Amino acid sequence: MSSISRRLGAPRTSFALALIASLTLAHPATADPRSASTWSAPVTVSAPHDLITMPSLASQVTGEMVAWRYYDRRPPRQTFGPARAAFAHAPFNGAFEAQQPLPATYATGYLVPIGDAGVAQLILRRTGVNTSSPSVAIGDVTGRFGAPLAVHGTVWLGHASLAGNGLGELLLAWVSSPRPGCRQVWASVRLPGRGFGRPQLIASSADGLDVTAGVGPGSHRLLAGRTASDMAVVFDSKRGRMLVAVALHGHSWASPQDVGPAAVGNANMVATPYISRNSRIIVAWYHRQVSESRPSGPSFVQVAVRPPDKGRFLAARTLSRSPNGAAEGGVAIASGAGFPPMLAFLAPASPHEATPARAVVNVSTAKGNGFSVPVTVSKAGQSASDLVAAPGIVGPIFTWVSTPSPNATTGPGGAVYAELPTRAGHTTPPIQVSPREHVQEAVAIQSRWGNRWMVAWTALPQWLSVSAPGRMVVRVSSCFCD
């Protein structure tokens, strides 16, 4: 789990000045973020582009950064040009500056916040038709990055995952294919102030298709040459099982454990593993069974817990099963100081709807080694997609994009909604953060300097429908969290 160290006790006036300067419209720090009126008016931070994907947010005590990948059509505007990357920076006492370019190689992954060290960026340089060489650049929210740190390995079809924490520890996991029909899982760890260590072979013959890395908050003492955090790598296998490898702080990787069923192929979606300060690890995933005779089959959301006092995961629990599958699966786990871990996932609105079914957002709260009965938090009559989560001192936030129907191509389009649970783990009515402007993707982060959420999204504000001409932009809104 990527975590961000945050400074406590900063002056309230500093929070207000930063918000006024960077996002134009501020709200009192005592405002309730569960009210739509407390979110600032959206600010456009990008130039228009023909296609924008992968918005990312990073925050330091000196300001914030929004980054994205974009494509523009070549003349006569019938084909897209190569992927490019750009960002916008807002200093602590200033407004968001104009869009600035990043090297094209930085368009291959999301930003990973790593506390005072700034941000990390995964770079994949193509070395063959299906292979690439990984490296990671360390920088800050002003867009300044150092020379990329090399990682000795070969990534197959871009299947790699980067995670980090506030100490500056980083974990890169990836899938390689040394020969046809053989896929392996590897991992390499970067300690604070160092390069990436020698890659470790996690699984020699899993033949899975994807991998997800997670890093704990680093509550253990830093020792020379040893990690201070627990780490986990989650991946699927050719046998239709979900596997997890764990490396407790200061120790090597344990053998992968089979934690439950998964789909064969790429019909799995895995949440970033939740890792607590006392070594509790939670893994959640969505999988949908498919076959040649049917476009989709039953879908499942399952969660497996590794208690702090156990050496293995408990049997996975099924939180959701639907006979028709959701239009889009998604799972996310987040927590906060004084908050239990909470798991949000997409599920069909009704088992009686035809496939693809409308999706709703359900939330379940951890209770010891178990989870509560899921509660639906999204609004009735809408269909949710693009579910993401972020942790924070004041608790977690879950955001999603909601539209009137899964196939709507006319009308005002989708909007970003947010759920901010209470400290007791109770859910609240969702808040509409953005206008209805055909939102495609959204991401959230808590500001390093104050109890303030920021949400960035890609939008089509000039479009009347998704089939009409128009160009995309990146927009940002924020609110105080008290």
List pLDDT tens digits, range 271-307.
999 999 999 999 999 998 776 555 567 889 999 999 9
| Of 267, 244, 376, residue with least CA distance to 330 | 267
Name the nearest CA neighbour of 22 among 481, 424, 479, 434: 479
The b-or-e profile of 428-447 (16+ CB within 10 A means b, else e) is eebbebbbbbbbbbbbbbbb
pLDDT in tens, 228-276: 999 999 999 988 999 999 999 989 999 999 999 998 866 789 999 999 9
DSSP single-letter state for residue 371: E
Q: How far apart are CA 431 and CA 479, in angstroms?
A: 12
**Partners of 480 in the β-ladder:** 452
Q: Are 131 and 155 in contact (CB under 8 A)?
A: yes
Query: Regarding the domain delimited by 12-480, which CATH topology (the fold level of the hierarchy) does it fall under?
Result: Methylamine Dehydrogenase; Chain H (2.130.10)
Cβ partners under 8 Å of residue 402, min gap 6: 378, 379, 382, 383, 384, 385, 414, 415, 417
Burial of 7 (0-12, 13-18, 19+ CB in 10 A): exposed
What percent of the chain lies above the pLDDT cut of 90? 59
pLDDT of residue 224: 73
Domain boundaries, the chain: 12-480
Helix (H) or strand (E) holding 430: none
The model scores a pTM over 0.85: yes
Residue 9 has pLDDT above 50, yes or no: no
Q: What is the mean pLDDT of residues 391-400?
A: 89
Work out the average pLDDT over 322-337.
Answer: 81
Rounded to an integer, what distance in angstroms lies between the CA atom of residue 187 and that of residue 213? 9
Cα angle for residues 215, 219, 224 (degrees, 5° grid) = 85
pLDDT above 70 as % of the chain: 84
- 198, 236 contact by CB (below 8 A): no
8 A C-beta contact, residue 351 and residue 323: yes
The beta strand positions in 349-440, using DSSP E, are: 359-367, 370-371, 375-376, 383-390, 397-403, 415-419, 431-432
Q: Comparing C-alpha atoms, which of 395, 396, 438, 394 is closest to residue 416?
A: 438
CB-side neighbour CA atoms (13 Å) of 88:
22
Band (pLDDT 50/70/90 cuts) for residue 8 is very low
**Position 415 pLDDT exceeds 70:** yes
> How confident is the model at residue 183, as a pLDDT?
94
Q: Which residues pair with 286 in a beta bridge?
A: 269, 301
How far is CA 281 from each of CA 64, 174, 229, 353, 377, rounded to the nearest angstrom?
30, 20, 12, 35, 25
Distance from C-alpha of 360 to C-alpha of 383, rounded to nearest angstrom = 6
Residue 11 confidence class, pLDDT cut points 50, 70, 90: very low
List the structure tokens of 169: 């520890």
Place of tokens 């500093």: 14
